[in-house]
Chains A and B, each alone.
Chain A
């Protein structure tokens, strides 16, 4: 789900960078305001360690069937353990470090990747989990079950929104891409939900004080109903967005915004322009191609030698 550079229209990538920066800015302010009272969430060292933990936990693949395995993404888990704002900051740094160190996701596409996984996945997922838990009575089981459901939703929402962004950029066809992405992530999301539930149950049993679960307070019926309505509206809004996305509509939006610059005109003919003056036909093209290939081979050889000598000096 980590978008590399090159697949998103640059205007969209920059717009998502701005949106992401604004929301992460809000998260930072909320975190700073609550630092004294936030407990675990306000501890910068813990946030760094949880970032490294999410990285390492993503190595635990989950064997679904022979040859197929899923792994944890961890957005809702981080949000549950640290709270939505600190969780968002942690996932922002995790996704940033993934792009920087492992080239998992592009640098220009980083804004989009943080938006899809850090903001929708972690902030959105954790808020949904909290509202759902409140609706279900806010006991321990309700909270952990709600985190599982939110984990599944966060994976589906992230995959869907990623595909819509690709569709807006003109690099995929929504009518095929969206059902394909959602059906693949349906299973990945189940893996995410099961691992999130199992991990939280383990922590709740082994170290219940870490989850900061105050004894289940009785919430008023009105509050529970409001939370339930909020979750329902969010889920219906998301489902409607994915179900009713009209590919033609999306294309016309993309074209109106100037995203998809499909210049027609020149026909797709790779070798048309390559010819040697004075020579005609195939011979000319072949000789031009050979000269080009020799020049590139020479260049690559020269640069390899340079790289070897520079690498020894370092």
Chain B
């Protein structure tokens, strides 16, 4: 399989598969670790098919893990299925099995779901996905805005990086003490950052004006929804049926396989 040119392939089946698969994962009941393992197996197999090894996928999936902080209170505050209770220093603590199950299920669901979306973005690049979403009736204003945002993202990020480097060179960093510590008060630092933001906006604005003039001179109106869409995937219906079967299997696994 060769990577198609941006927007050159009908990625609707991949988008539908990722969305329904993530929905099926979300619908798995608490403690359905066996079904979650099955869903992880499906994701890493799809990952291997598009060329990402399970280890790399697992590492990139870790982006969702810090969110476990939000679920920490339920582990310690719920009072059902107590696994342990005791005192740590002045605190009396208890660990609830039910709370642990909620936190663990949420984190695993987040981890597998993130990996599923990484597989999607590796299989089809962002412009291809936006084209697929446009085929699926995403409003033109959003599709055009998203398409242009993606197109100019790296350009403006590069610009921002250069400005940040210049700021670091002028040192608004609060690191260090005494003579090493350069830079003013918090409000001074906020103003410096605000000036960077303001001047980046002016650069983006003048770039937008230049693009608009260039587009207008060629008769374009600024909408990206001109030109032809890539040929529709002839096997779309079959693929969607396959996705639904997989999602149904996963849901059945969640309902029937043992939970802990």
What is the interface of chain A, defined by CB distance below 8 A to chain B? Answer: 3-8, 10, 13, 24-25, 28, 31-32, 43-53, 55-57, 59-66, 72, 77, 81, 89-90, 92-94, 96-97, 99-101, 103-104, 106-108, 163, 166, 170-173, 175-177, 191, 194-203, 206-207, 210, 261-264, 266-270, 272-273, 299-300, 303-304, 306-308, 310-311, 313-314
Contacts and interface: CB of A to CB of B under 8 A. Distances in A.
Nearest to A271: B260
B242 interface: no
A28 B137 CA distance: 14
B70 to A, nearest CB: 5
Contacts of A200: 194, 198
A28 B31 CA distance: 41
Contacts of A199: 194-195, 197-198, 201
Interface of B: 1-3, 18-19, 22-23, 25-27, 29-31, 41, 44-45, 47-56, 60, 63-64, 67, 70-71, 73-74, 77-78, 80-81, 83, 97-98, 100-103, 105-114, 117-118, 121, 126, 129, 139, 141-142, 144-153, 155-157, 159-161, 163-164, 172-175, 183, 186-187, 189-202, 204-205, 207-209, 211-212, 215, 221-223, 258-260
Nearest to B67: A4
The main secondary structure of chain B at its interface with chain A is: helix
A198 B195 contact: yes
The A interface is mostly helix, strand or loop, or mixed, namely: helix
B101 A44 contact: no
Contacts of A262: 30, 80, 98, 101-102
Contacts of B101: 262, 268
A46 B144 CA distance: 11
B133 to A, nearest CB: 9
Contacts of A195: 190, 193-194, 197
A212 to B, nearest CB: 12
Contacts of A57: 160, 196-197, 200-201
Given A6-B107, A108-B113, A60 B201 contact: no
A126 to B, nearest CB: 16
A63 to B, nearest CB: 5
Contacts of B207: 49
Nearest to B195: A202
Contact of B29 (A177, A191, A263, A270): A263
Contacts of B50: 310
Given A5-B25, A44-B145, A267-B81, A62 B193 contact: yes
